[in-house]
A = this chain, B = another copy of it.
């Protein structure tokens, strides 16, 4: 099978910490950091993807079957396309169990993005 290309910023040892970059307000990002972080923001920069991601993330256990979240107003292939994008961005992972395919959030990535947006400006 063709392995999905996942963001290289996430090592299994980095779970729980910010793997990508310092907060946006700390210092100007380098080109490389921006390249990496932009990929994550871009993945959430589409309404359909955002709804899909939110549906998965808010589902119990942070995991949901495709059949439970595909009611977002677009065709089924489009849903599959967007889920693939989210997977390629490292935000979701998928697993087939019998008939259905389950998608799950990558909590470390969510935490990384949250840290990017932490307002350190309050210290000033």
Contacts and interface: CB of A to CB of B under 8 A. Distances in A.
A111 B119 CA distance: 5
A72 B32 CA distance: 12
6 contacts: A25-B54, A29-B50, A31-B73, A42-B46, A44-B45, A105-B123
Contact of A35 (B25, B30, B47, B69): B47
Range, interface on chain A: 35 or more
Interface string A88-124: 0000000000000000010100110110011111011
B117 A105 contact: no
B47 A38 contact: yes
Nearest to A62: B123
User: Chain A's interface: helix, strand, loop or mixed, by majority?
Assistant: helix
Interface string A50-94: 110111011011100000010011000000000000000000000
A84 to B, nearest CB: 17
A38 B28 contact: no
A24 B46 contact: no
A47 to B, nearest CB: 4
